[in-house]
Structure 1
Amino acid sequence: MPSSPLLTNPTLRALVAIALFTYTAQNMLNVSIAPLSRALDLPEWIVGAAVSLAAAAVTALSQFWGRRSIAWGRRRVILLALILALTAGTLFSAAVWARAAGYIGAFAAAGAIMAARGPFFGAAVAAIPPTGQALVAEVTPDEGSRVRGTSAFSGAINLSVMVGSLVSSALGAWWIFGPVHATPIFVLIALAIALIWLPRDGGTARPRRHLPHLTHEAAEPEKATPASSIEGTTDSASTETTDGELPPRMSWTDRRIAPWIASIFGIYFANGVVQITIGFLVQDRGGLEPAPAVSITALMLLANAAGAMLMQLIIVPRLGWGPRPLLRAGMTLALISLTCLTLAPTLWAVAASTFAMGVASGMASPGYSAGASLAVTEREQGGIAGVINATSAITWIVAPVSATALYGWMPLSPFLLALSLVALSCSCAWMLLRKLDIVSRARD
């Protein structure tokens, strides 16, 4: 079996390390934010609002970052994003400290937490997946290598979720505010990695080349060459695309990618519901206080990430399945595991169900990412990378606020809503993708 491009491309290895520390920082906030809301005497809807604002920023900026990672260069985009993430993490830490010490009231603390965890941090992390996804597309010319590349990159991000869960569990058991104050440190490490190991954009001695302005006819997907026909590209070749010329923007209703979006949307919404309510679920079904709930919540998220990472880093690259069967199998398993989670009577059953949800995501997400990426042209890879990242983010705009509000009204209601959307997407995966020819859609 050919080796993953993550093992041979130094820029990808640096991006994975940056993603590891940045997403570890994000996950530490996710694990601690629900128990923190009660420990700081803040309304529960603040948790959902903060995450929803972050998702709105990711949705709005994913294509922005994805296209500019090609036009401006990976290093510049990542450095800007990490500086913003460091600012956001520091603001979040300061707000929690000030509220715990009694220096600010609930209103000021809620506003600072929503701003820091919302648009600030969301705008920062929006840059990393599309930048990495666009680069994976450049170095994976065919369907098999594209599936392996996207699966490995996603698996590396899930590894960071596992690390973040473990770190949060350890710090939270020692001090409930520990994960919050450690967040800027992890972002600072990611920034140092970017400064030292990310190569300078356009650092070769080759002359600067500008792509010609496309006419309306040339910009149409029908006239372009499919990305799947590109022969192996090197890291130096990818540097040549850094020419300041913005690639085309992708439409969500593009007939080449709309079936893929419809087929994955439900599981992303369900993941948002599960991850944002699991802290409350642990406290209520397990009868735990906020402080010990931090560690148990971290372990639940760890089980979810472990399932996804197991599939993306180990199982999926060895299965040899194409994007379509991966997406179908993942969505079917998601429907089963979410049903079990909804009815789970004990914390052990909750843990098993969240692990199964991770396995389902670990199958469905690489299928979606590879399928959508193969359906468009080389020049559109920055745009589609943004759409791929925004697809999961857009569900988090609605999922956290609706899930926390519905949970406060009736604990089962957010899971029933998620179940209905997973069932709808599962149906789309089996029906809409039935006659879809992935490679020919890039030509049609």
Structure 2
Amino acid sequence: MPSSPLLTNPTLRALVAIALFTYTAQNMLNVSIAPLSRALDLPEWIVGAAVSLAAAAVTALSQFWGRRSIAWGRRRVILLALILALTAGTLFSAAVWARAAGYIGAFAAAGAIMAARGPFFGAAVAAIPPTGQALVAEVTPDEGSRVRGTSAFSGAINLSVMVGSLVSSALGAWWIFGPVHATPVFVLIALAIALIWLPRDGGTTHPRRHLPRLSHEAAEPKKATPASSIEGTTDSASAEPTDGELPPRVSWTDRRIAPWIASIFGIYFANGVVQITIGFLVQDRGGLEPAPAVSITALMLLANAAGAMLMQLIVVPRLGWGPRRLLRAGMTLALIALTCLTLAPTLWAVAASTFAMGVASGMASPGYSAGASLAVTEREQGGIAGVINATGAITWIVAPVSATALYGWMPLSPFLLALSLVALSCSCAWLLLRKLDIVSRARD
């Protein structure tokens, strides 16, 4: 089978390495934040609010970063994002240290943690997936290679979740605050990789104080063949100099991509519920204290990420399925797995269910990403990459804070809500995508 663009494109390889360390840092915060809230005597809703604020930042800035990665250049966008992430990680670490030492009260600690893990870190990580997705679209000219490319890039990010879970488990077993204080170190490594190995942007890419807006005629989708059917696209496309002009925005209600969004949002909401409540679920169903719960929570997230990575890096590229079939199979499996998780009586059953949720995500997400990307034109790839990244983020605005609030009221309620939304999206995948012609939609 053709080689993955991850193996042949140096810019994409550098982006994957950066994503590995940045998302490892993010996952260390995700693993430790629930036990930390109890260890630092902070309200449980702080956890949900911090992640929801981060998701709001990702939703607001994903298309911003996706379009500017083309207009400004990838190196400039990534460096700016990583500096912001380093600042956020340092602030989070300082707030936890000050609260644990008794230098600040619960109110100040909660505010600093919400700001650092929320808009600061969210704004930073929002830049990486759309930048990578836009590049994948440039170097994958047909449906088969687009599925392989998006699946491999998503799989690399899930690998970082696994690494973050393992590191968090090891550090958390040694010291509950270890994962928090290690976060800025991993971001610093990502920044070093960007400075050394990320290729410089084209010579014509100069920063402008005010970027010009496209005219109405220029913003219209081209009538030419879409990106999905361009033959002869080469890896050198990523090296073409940019001219500073912003590519067109992509609307969420665009009839070419709305069916894809409706068919995936349920599993993204469910993933938000599972990942943000798993730390509480482990403590309550397993009868564990906060310190040992860090390691078990990390292992649960590791199982989830392992399922997704297994599908995205190994199984999906070899199945040869189209985007529509992948999305339908993934959503159907998600409905079954989430039902099992809702009823799981033991930690072993919870682990098996979270693994199955990861497998479902590993099938559905590449199908959605490839299908939505193939549905638009070449000039819209920066915009659609932002929409793809923001689709998951927008569900996280509501999922964490609602899940933690509902869990505090009745532990079963957030899972029942997630089940209903997964069932709705699964229905959309089978009904709305039935007659969807990806290539003809892109030509409209």
TM-score (normalizing by structure 2): 0.97
**In terms of mean alpha carbon deviation, does 13-22 or 206-215 score higher?**
206-215
In the comparison of the two structures, how many residue pairs are matched?
Answer: 444
Give the direction of change, closer, same or farther, for the CA distance of 1:208–1:320 in structure 2 (3 Å limit): farther
- Unaligned segments of structure 1, at least 5 residues: none
- Asked whether the 8 Å contact 1:139–1:232 carries over to 2, the reply is no
| Structure 1 residues 233 and 210, CA gap change in structure 2 (3 angstroms) | farther
Residue aligned with 1:222, SS = coil
CA contact (8 A) 1:53 1:122 kept: yes
Residue pair 2:259, 2:433 contacting (<8 A) in 1 also: yes
Output one character per residue of 1:32-53: Cα deviation in whole Å (capped at 9) or x when no partner: 0000000000000000000000
Gap runs ≥5 in structure 2: none
Could you list the per-position Cα deviations for residues 147-173 of structure 1 after superposition, in whole angstroms to 9, with x for gaps in the alignment? 000000000000000000000000000
Normalised TM-score (structure 1): 0.97
Deviations 1:53-97 (A, max 9, x none): 000000000000000000000000000000000000000000000
Structure 2 equivalent of residue 343 of structure 1: 343
Matched with 1:121 is 121
Please give the alpha-carbon distance, in whole angstroms, between the structure 2 residues aligned to 1:425 and 1:29. 29
Change (3 A) 1:59 1:384: same
Instruction: Please state how far the C-alpha of 1:208 moved relative to its aligned partner.
Output: 14
Q: Kindly indicate whether the alpha-carbon contact (under 8 Å) linking 2:376 and 2:442 is maintained by their aligned counterparts in 1.
A: yes
Deviations 1:357-379 (A, max 9, x none): 00000000000000000000000
Relative to structure 1, is the Cα distance of residues 237 and 210 closer, same or farther in structure 2, using a 3 angstrom cutoff? farther
SS of the residue corresponding to residue 206 of structure 2 reads: coil
> What CA distance in whole angstroms lies between the structure 1 residues aligned with 2:387 and 2:205?
33
CA distance in 1, matches of 2:235, 2:200: 12
Contact residue 173 and residue 295 of structure 2 kept, 8 A? yes
* Structure 1 residues 241 and 332: CA distance shift in structure 2, 3 A: farther
Q: Distance in 2 between matches of 1:103 and 1:212?
A: 48
Contact 1:228 1:374 (C-alpha < 8 Å) held by counterparts? yes
Q: Deviations over 1:105-126 (max 9, x none)?
A: 0000000000000000000000
Asked whether the equivalents of residues 218 and 224 of structure 1 are also in contact (C-alpha less than 8 Å), the reply is no
Contact persistence 1:130–1:388 (CA under 8 A)? yes
Partners of 1:73 and 1:239 within 8 A in 2: no
Please say if residues 11 and 238 of structure 2, whose CA atoms lie closer than 8 Å, have aligned partners that are also in contact: no
Deviation at 1:248, TM superposition (A): 0.2
Q: Sequence identity of aligned pairs in percent?
A: 97
Contact 1:59 1:391 in 2 (8 A): yes
Determine if contact 2:214/2:247 at 8 Å carries over to the other structure. no
Measure how far apart 1:337 and its partner are.
0.1
- Contact map agreement 1:209 1:240 (CA 8 A) in 2: no
In structure 1, the residue matched to 2:27 is 27
SS at match of 1:221: coil
Over residues 260-311 of structure 1, what are the superposed CA-to-partner deviations in whole Å (9 max), with x where a residue is unaligned? 0000000000000000000000000000000000000000000000000000
Q: Encode CA deviations 1:182-227: one digit per residue, 9 max, x unaligned.
A: 0000000000000000011004899999999865355333635311
Q: Does the 8 Å CA contact 1:210/1:245 hold for their aligned counterparts?
A: no
CA distance in 2, matches of 1:401, 1:48: 4
Helix, strand or coil for the counterpart of 1:249? coil
Deviates more, 1:351-360 or 1:196-205: 196-205
Q: Write out aligned runs for 1:380-399 (5 A).
A: 380-399=380-399
